[in-house]
Amino acid sequence: MKIRAITIGQNLLENDLKQKNLRKNLIKLQILKKNFENKGIEVEYIRFAAQPFLKSVNLSKNSIYQKREEILAVLEDLVDEKLMGIYAFMPGLCDQKTNLTDSQFILLKDIPNLIYKYPNMFTSIQVGSNREGINFQAIKECTKIIQQLSHPDPFQNVKFAVTFNVPPNTPFFPSAYHIGNDHKISIAIEAADEIISILKNNSINSTNLKNIKTAIQKRFEEIFDKIHSIVSPFCKEHGFTFVGMDFSPAPYPTKEKSIGTALEELGLCKFGETGTVFSVGFLTEALQSVNRPKIGFSGFMQPLLEDFTISLRNNENKVDISKLLLYSTMCGLGLDCVPIPDNLNPTVIELLLMDLGMISLRLKKPLTARLMPIKNKNAGEMTDFDFEYFTNSKICNLNSSNQIDLQDFYKNNSSYRF
């Protein structure tokens, strides 16, 4: 186990274009990072998440969005100073019943340009929630962003997520965004190896599910308590609010740190086979039953390209988009780092996002999509990324007609609320 990210959330200020207050807080977080390391807990990243733009977004000359490139240059400098690793800038809450505003359209259309120009920028757009419903205009605009980011470098889509029902101040990227006037700290962990260890020591052939669940609860309570004992006094001393820890055991693309490996250690099936829904649901329920404050997703994650075993099973044709959607009903995250063909009609992606959104709203759970169209490649071909956190895999097929036209649908439906 290690800490994947200490994420600080705070508002960027119009009257402080150099963001001196953020810089001061990032310097303080170096102390927290050192405190963790002194207790034997590795910290991978310090990250920053800004406030989202809303339908009331102001593009006057003094707003942070009108001066977005000036602020982005400052944020990149903070990365260069090694005060943080990556940041979430210009996330948007577009889950609204009304049409998108002209200002929202302007910002959405600028996202691909900004992500290409500022290499450490991540962002997300919330297009649906149980509070407001699904905004189909936002889904259409996000599909344009996904397809534009795929050229010339499909890797850029790792920095963009389409989200549903994601609450503020979750620590995982790209979905993080900040709400509130205080400065908030949240923690994301990389702990798939912990689940593997628990299941190796508690085989389903030698014990029962109740005992396995109890072992997971006990270990993750210990992890939380140790983290809390370090971060809580720091926050009190330095004026931060500790929001909590996301209990999702994020994987790393090696077999021994794979959440897919953990699922298979349960002993019922290989990932993608019959029994996967039960296994994913069991692990998610066990994590969500830990008797400690939880934030964010706090469940099973299935990031295809970030997980060794899930990627392997995809190569063996045990995984497809329909199965990943099915598992999204049980898991905590959704369609994450999923490679798809480059030559898709945009409506195919839009309908896939609608499917995911319907699951999220019907089940009242946070879900996200990081879809990665792979330039000049078709379903069944291999990706060829060279990135520490990816393992290459086959491009997934989307079983849908490329001749679908949603023009009349959009004309009659800008949004839908249950």
Tokens of 87: 């940041």
Q: CB–CB of 27/83 below 8 Å?
A: yes
What is the predicted pLDDT for the residue at 191?
Answer: 97
- Which stretches of the chain score pLDDT less than 70? 402
Cα separation of 376 and 12, whole Å?
Answer: 39
Cα separation of 111 and 265, whole Å?
Answer: 41
What is the predicted pLDDT for the residue at 61?
Answer: 82
What is the predicted pLDDT for the residue at 155?
Answer: 97
What is the predicted pLDDT for the residue at 351?
Answer: 96
What is the predicted pLDDT for the residue at 402?
Answer: 67
CATH of domain 2-164: 3.20.70.20
The residues near 15 (Cβ < 8 Å, ≥ 6 apart) are none
- For helices 209-238 and 20-38, the axis angle rounded to 10 degrees is 130
- For helices 321-328 and 276-288, the axis angle rounded to 10 degrees is 30
> Fold for domain 189-337+345-416?
Anaerobic Ribonucleotide-triphosphate Reductase Large Chain (3.20.70)
For the chain, the average pLDDT equals 96
What is the predicted pLDDT for the residue at 8?
Answer: 99
What is the predicted pLDDT for the residue at 183?
Answer: 98
Tokens of 343: 């030559």
Question: What residues does each domain of the chain span?
Answer: 2-164, 189-337+345-416
99-158 per-position pLDDT tens digit: 999 999 999 999 999 999 999 999 999 999 999 999 999 999 999 999 999 999 999 999
What is the predicted pLDDT for the residue at 154?
Answer: 97
What is the predicted pLDDT for the residue at 58?
Answer: 87
Q: Is-same-fold flag (2-164; 189-337+345-416)?
A: yes
Whose structure tokens read 């000036």?
A: 70
The residues near 91 (Cβ < 8 Å, ≥ 6 apart) are 49, 50, 52, 53, 123, 124, 125, 126, 176, 177
What is the predicted pLDDT for the residue at 418?
Answer: 81
What is the predicted pLDDT for the residue at 3?
Answer: 98
Identify which of 188, 250, 221, 170 has the alpha carbon closest to the alpha carbon of residue 43: 188
148-192 per-position pLDDT tens digit: 999 999 999 999 999 999 999 999 999 999 999 999 999 999 999
